[in-house]
Amino acid sequence: MSEAPSNSALVELGRLLRSAGYTFTTVTPLSHRRVNARPQAARPTLRDIFGWSRPFREGDISDAMLRALKLADAVEAPGEDLRGGVRFSTLGEQLFVHSAFPTEQAEAVFFGPDTYRFARTIRQAIERLRLSPGLRLLDVGAGSGAGGLFAARLLRHLSPRVVLTDINQRALQLSAVNAALNDVPDVTIIESDLYAAVDGVFDLIVSNPPYLVDAGARVYRHGGGEFGSGLSLRIVTDGLPYLSRGGTLVLYTGSAIVNGVDLFEQQLRAALKNENVGLSYEEIDPDVFGEELDAPPYDRADRICAVAAIVEKP
């Protein structure tokens, strides 16, 4: 991990929060906004400050936490109150730092309900795999690094060699912080447009790419293509040469259902028709991001669902 003072300060802040017994489960932006609209307690808690991104004053947190926030350049002062520029969320036994609410910046690093569903998909996939010690693990478009680092923890008895990639500089920074905060060894972090800067083959590839059509084309949200699945399709098709024999690619993504047809599944099966791979495909959640159905292109869709595609190379 980089020795940049801002990275070290975020790692220290995360460790201080963990020592204080901090836990937080991140909800959807709409739920977050609704909860924050409620009357607030006179003095904010650590969960208010580092989970709900609510304003606070210097005396509301320890001197050590405030110092770490400032060293990380992660404290905002919009007025008399302060506001943290990052959030911390728990995933199993791990703690992850990511962007503060609301995630409106072009290079925001998102963590939320999709992350928890992604982790569950990874766990279920790993339970059925036969993996050997020293396996190579790649997280494509890693964001906070949650997927790859969660998988690494599940596989820690096999001493995996982990590679996390992204094109978002902020994501690369926070992935490095999260690798150190969660004591995951042998992690390499690479700036890469999908597989462009990646070498070799991998026993396990995981990815949770953006899968919506986002008007602002925000990196963490915009998936490209007619209904947002362009990037997801590329991650599978471009990833086949990077899978070792017996390797597995685990993709968690979303798909628009139009007139009862799962368009991404249709595209994926067509793309893999002549490839020597196995594919299992499952709808995980039938209705996500329902608010998108009011505007193009999703005003032509029945719904948006969350899906898992697992590709295995014999």
Mean pLDDT over 7-32 rounds to 97
- C-alpha span between 4 and 30 (Å, rounded): 34
Q: Which residues lie below 8 Å from residue 295, measured CB to CB, with a gap of 6+? A: none
Q: Which residue has the tokens 């798909």?
A: 255
CA proximity to 24, closest of 118, 129, 115, 149? 115
Give the per-residue pLDDT at 224: 83
Chain centre to alpha carbon of residue 240: 22
- What's the residue count for the chain? 314
The closest of 235, 241, 151 to 187, measured between CA atoms, is 151
- 144 vs 115, 127, 192, 300, CA distance in Å? 10, 23, 15, 32
Spatial contact of 157 and 185, defined as CB atoms under 8 Å apart: no
pLDDT at 220: 66
Q: Would you state the structure tokens that stand for residue 63, as one six-digit string?
A: 């001197």
> Cα 306 vs. chain centroid, distance in angstroms?
14
The full set of domain ranges for the chain reads 5-99, 113-312
Q: Which CATH class is domain 113-312?
A: alpha beta
Check residue 1 and give its pLDDT.
Answer: 40
Beta bridge partners of 308: 252, 282
289 pLDDT band, cuts 50/70/90, is very high
pLDDT, position 3: 55
More confident residue, 303 or 224: 303
Average pLDDT across the chain, whole number: 94
Q: Can you count the helices (H) and strands (E) in the chain? A: 9, 12
Q: Which 8-state DSSP code applies to residue 135?
A: -
C-beta of residue 127 within 8 angstroms of C-beta of residue 151: no
Q: How many Cβ atoms sit within 10 Å of the Cβ of residue 303?
A: 16
- For residue 308, name the pLDDT band (cuts at 50, 70, 90): very high
96, two tokens: 């992850």
Per DSSP, the three-state class of 201 is: coil
194 has pLDDT over 50: yes
Query: How far apart, in whole angstroms, are the C-alpha atoms of residue 154 and residue 162?
Result: 12
pLDDT at 168 over 90: yes
pLDDT at 77: 82
**pLDDT-based confidence at 41, cuts 50/70/90?**
confident
The percentage of the chain sitting over the pLDDT mark of 70, rounded to a whole number, equals: 97
The string of pLDDT tens digits covering residues 56-87 is 999 999 999 999 999 999 998 867 799 999 99
Distance CA 159, CA 196 (A): 25
Q: Which of 70-79, 116-125, 178-187, 293-302 has the lowest mean pLDDT?
A: 70-79
Do the beta carbons of residue 311 and residue 282 sit within 8 Å?
Answer: no
pLDDT of the residue at 269: 98
Question: Confidence band (pLDDT; 50, 70, 90) for 2?
Answer: very low
Q: Cis bond leading into 297, ω under 30°? A: yes
